[in-house]
C-alpha cells in the first residue's frame, strides 16, 4: 500500500511528464566554420537555426585601456582592439540544446574522453 505522499509524487511526476517538454542536451560536430555549419543527429544546422555565443567565433573586442607586461617593463595601450581567433574548428564537438521551431542553442565546446589529458 502506498503512502499518500508517494501517491501524490507519482501523480505530480505523471502530470509533469505529460505537460512539460524538457529538452535534452545533444552533442553536435562542427562541419565548417565559415559558413558555420554543425551536424547533430544527421541534421545539418546553419546560421538560420543556431544561436551561439559570439565569443566562440572569431571576433574583435575593443578596449579603452590595456595594461600589461612585456619583458621587464609595464606597457599601457589606449583605445585599441584585440582580434580573437575562433575557439571552434572543423570536427570539434559542441553541446547543443534544441529550442522551439527547430532552432538550437550552442552551449559550449567539449572534448571526448580520449582527448582528456
- The span from the CA of 2 to the CA of 72, in Å, is 74
> What CATH number did the domain enclosing 39 receive?
2.40.50.140
- The span from the CA of 117 to the CA of 112, in Å, is 11
pTM over 0.75: no
Quick check: is 14 in a domain? no
Quick check: is 48 in a domain? yes
Quick check: is 16 in a domain? no
Tell me the pLDDT tens digit for each residue of 82-96: 999 999 999 999 999
- If one counts the domains in the chain, the total is 1
Q: Which residues contact 35 (CB under 8 A, 6 or more apart)?
A: 46, 47
Residue owning grid cell 500500500: 1
Quick check: is 51 in a domain? yes
More confident site: 95 or 100: 95
Quick check: is 91 in a domain? yes
Domain interval for residue 41: 22-58+86-112
Quick check: is 30 in a domain? yes
Quick check: is 81 in a domain? no
Average pLDDT value for residue range 102-115:
86
pLDDT of residue 85: 95
Tell me the pLDDT tens digit for each residue of 21-50: 656 899 999 999 999 999 998 889 999 999
Average pLDDT value for residue range 89-116:
88
Tell me the pLDDT tens digit for each residue of 44-73: 999 999 999 999 999 999 999 999 998 899
Quick check: is 9 in a domain? no
Tell me the pLDDT tens digit for each residue of 3-18: 767 777 777 777 666 6
Q: Is the pLDDT reported for residue 1 higher than 60?
A: no
Amino acid at each position: 500500500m502506498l503512502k499518500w505522499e508517494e501517491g501524490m509524487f507519482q501523480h505530480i511526476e505523471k502530470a509533469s511528464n505529460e505537460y512539460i517538454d524538457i529538452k535534452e542536451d545533444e552533442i553536435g560536430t562542427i562541419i565548417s566554420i565559415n559558413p558555420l555549419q554543425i551536424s547533430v543527429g544527421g541534421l545539418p544546422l546553419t546560421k538560420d537555426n543556431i544561436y551561439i555565443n559570439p565569443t566562440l567565433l572569431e571576433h574583435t573586442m575593443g578596449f579603452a585601456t590595456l595594461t600589461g607586461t612585456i619583458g621587464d617593463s609595464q606597457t599601457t595601450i589606449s583605445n585599441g582592439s584585440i582580434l580573437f581567433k575562433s575557439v571552434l574548428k572543423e570536427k570539434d564537438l559542441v553541446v547543443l540544446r534544441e529550442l522551439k521551431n527547430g532552432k538550437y542553442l550552442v552551449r559550449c565546446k567539449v572534448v571526448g574522453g580520449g582527448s582528456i589529458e
